[in-house]
């Protein structure tokens, strides 16, 4: 399972499309196998789902995301968990524990 976490510093970014990078975390058998940061491409509508699919993402985690983007991720077979806040380490721990769920969407630019 590969998580793609929208990242600003060591925290989850409030908006997946405007973050500086993505932290890719491979989780196997309840443990982190690898962690790698990749720079985000320039923000253009519809580009990120394909970009993250090419990087093997199964799940994308962000503070916020509009409904069109969520649909595009779903069309690539990528699960969306949005409304997430906290450090990357906290998010990964919650994912492994099975307690990471979507919360209130933090992205208000799409409402």
Residue 50 belongs to domain spanning: 2-97
Flag whether 106 is in a domain.
Answer: no
Which pair of structure tokens corresponds to residue 41?
């491409």
H helices present in the chain, as ranges: 47-54, 67-75, 88-97
Flag whether 62 is in a domain.
Answer: yes
- Partners of 37 in the β-ladder: 23
pLDDT 10s digit of each residue in the chain, 111 long?
A: 999 999 999 999 998 888 999 999 999 999 999 999 999 998 788 899 999 999 999 999 999 988 899 999 999 999 999 999 999 999 999 999 999 999 877 665 444
Flag whether 105 is in a domain.
Answer: no
Flag whether 110 is in a domain.
Answer: no
Task: Give me the number of domains the chain comprises.
Answer: 1
Which pair of structure tokens corresponds to residue 7?
């990242």
Flag whether 54 is in a domain.
Answer: yes
Check: CB of residue 20 under 8 Å from CB of residue 77: no
pTM beyond cutoff 0.75:
yes
Flag whether 103 is in a domain.
Answer: no
């Amino acid at each position: 399972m590969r998580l793609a976490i929208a990242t600003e510093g060591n925290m989850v970014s409030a908006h997946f499309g405007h973050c500086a990078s993505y932290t890719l975390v491979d989780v196997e058998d309840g443990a982190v196998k690898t962690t790698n940061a990749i720079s985000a491409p320039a923000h253009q509508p519809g580009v990120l789902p394909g970009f993250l699919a090419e990087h093997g993402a199964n799940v994308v985690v962000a503070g916020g995301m509009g409904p069109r983007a969520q649909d595009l991720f779903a069309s690539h077979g990528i699960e969306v968990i949005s409304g997430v806040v906290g450090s990357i380490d906290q998010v990964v721990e919650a994912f492994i524990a099975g307690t990471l769920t979507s919360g209130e969407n933090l992205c208000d630019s799409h409402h």
